[in-house]
Structure 1
Amino acid sequence: MLAPLAVLMLVGVLLLSWLPFGAAAQGRAGASVTQMRLEQADDGIYLTAAVQFELPSLVEEVLDKGIAVYFVAEAEVFQERWYWTDRKVAQVTRHMRLAYQPLTRRWRLNVSPVPITGTAGFAVSLNQNFDSLGDAMDAVKRIGRLRLGDAADIGDESLHQVVFRFRLDTSQLPRPFQIGVVGQADWNIVAERAARLPLEKQR
């Protein structure tokens, strides 16, 4: 007789073999970081990035019903140290809330450095309005001028280790939707890229 743990492992293997080839990687392969640039301006160091992905039809249907969808972009800069682990010298996060306005038939994008929940996030958010979902998504995918800090904080190395992450944040969906999207690849929009970037002078 098989032990309980062995039975569970056998069931897991059978389920994986039953899934269509590539299904497990569908969500992971749906988004990619196509651009990263580190720039120095008079008032600090900025990161510009671009993400490429197709918005799944299921997410579009949710947006069309007037339910907001949230995206999060995050960047970290590390100082390389040969004698110890790399030291994090900067971190910044950008929260984006995209929603359809039925009365005006326009799309509104709120951009904030803090989570857009309640009045606090809306109070510090930048609002942009778009005539089409395509235009609004183009703005979501272009992550411009993420301020990482002052030049003195980042350091004067010729190359800087930067990690950029982008994701669709399902934790801010209404509770019934949070339960319903568990395990659905359409909601697994995630992209990450690490690179050693030169510090360019802002044009």
Structure 2
Amino acid sequence: MEVVTSFHLLLGWRPGILGRMLTVLALLWAVSMGAAAQTSVLLTELRGERAPDGLYVSAQLKFDLSGAVEEALGKGIPVYFVAEADVFRERWYWSDAHVASARRYMRVSYQPLTRRWRLSSSSEPLSNAGLGVNLGQYYDSLPDTLAAVQRLSQWKVADASNLDADARYSLRFRFYLDSSQLPRTMQLGNIGPSEWNLSVDRRLDIPPEAGK
């Protein structure tokens, strides 16, 4: 309401149609600014490349963690990220056919004893107990760890057997912070949803192979 009050004082507001219109415009502006502030993920690069053995995706993201997320990490609570890729074959006579899916699950955690950061990644969901086969890398700082999370290079999302050389495809790419993996006590607690709302969703056209 401070925004609305500022508009009133600046324009010498008086009751009437003009005043109501200015009030509505001010509220819409405030809401749009609040929504923009929550859009914290930029997808600066997204490429799909066909290869003899399948389809590969490379992506570069850019985002900053909120204070609440960084505080949770500092307390030893792991934070989970998920990258999803779904491949569809275009069909003019019907809805597009889903032909392949790939998932990459990433967990960022802080190791207090060594004061190092660990990034675990797997094609299968990572449990809180850390069970299952996954790759782990250690970093000296949180920015270095996030730089690895934000970069996906030559990620295979479909086998050649699922693709036709002369067909057109579309790729849906999604990346998000998975707040459902937080401890149950935090999920039921009073955490600000906007502070954990970190995601991006984009579609990409994949043309037929060159010469087809």
- Do the two structures share a fold, i.e. TM-score over 0.5? yes
Please report how far the alpha carbon of residue 31 of structure 1 lies from its aligned counterpart in structure 2 after TM superposition: 0.9
Distance of aligned partners of 1:41 and 1:80 in 2 relative to their CA distance in 1, 3 Å threshold: closer
Partner of 1:67: 77
What amino acid sits opposite 1:82 in the alignment?
W
Distance of aligned partners of 1:200 and 1:73 in 2 relative to their CA distance in 1, 3 Å threshold: farther
Instruction: Give the secondary structure class of the aligned counterpart of 1:63.
Output: helix
Using structure 2 for the length normalisation, give the TM-score. Answer: 0.77
- 2:43 is aligned, of 15, 33, 39, to 33
Residues 1-203 of structure 1: pairs in structure 2 closer than 5 A? 20-21=30-31, 22-27=33-38, 29-117=39-127, 122-157=131-166, 159-180=168-189, 183-198=192-207
What amino acid sits opposite 1:196 in the alignment?
D
Question: Is this contact kept in 2: 1:38–1:199, CA < 8 A?
Answer: no
Separation in structure 2 between the aligned mates of residue 129 and residue 194 of structure 1, nearest angstrom: 32
Separation in structure 2 between the aligned mates of residue 123 and residue 145 of structure 1, nearest angstrom: 23
Q: Which has the larger radius of gyration?
A: 2
Question: Is this contact kept in 2: 1:90–1:154, CA < 8 A?
Answer: no
Separation in structure 2 between the aligned mates of residue 181 and residue 45 of structure 1, nearest angstrom: 42
How large is the RMSD of aligned CA atoms in angstroms?
A: 2.5
Percent identical = 45
Question: Is this contact kept in 2: 1:45–1:150, CA < 8 A?
Answer: yes
Question: Is this contact kept in 2: 1:39–1:200, CA < 8 A?
Answer: no
Distance of aligned partners of 1:196 and 1:181 in 2 relative to their CA distance in 1, 3 Å threshold: farther
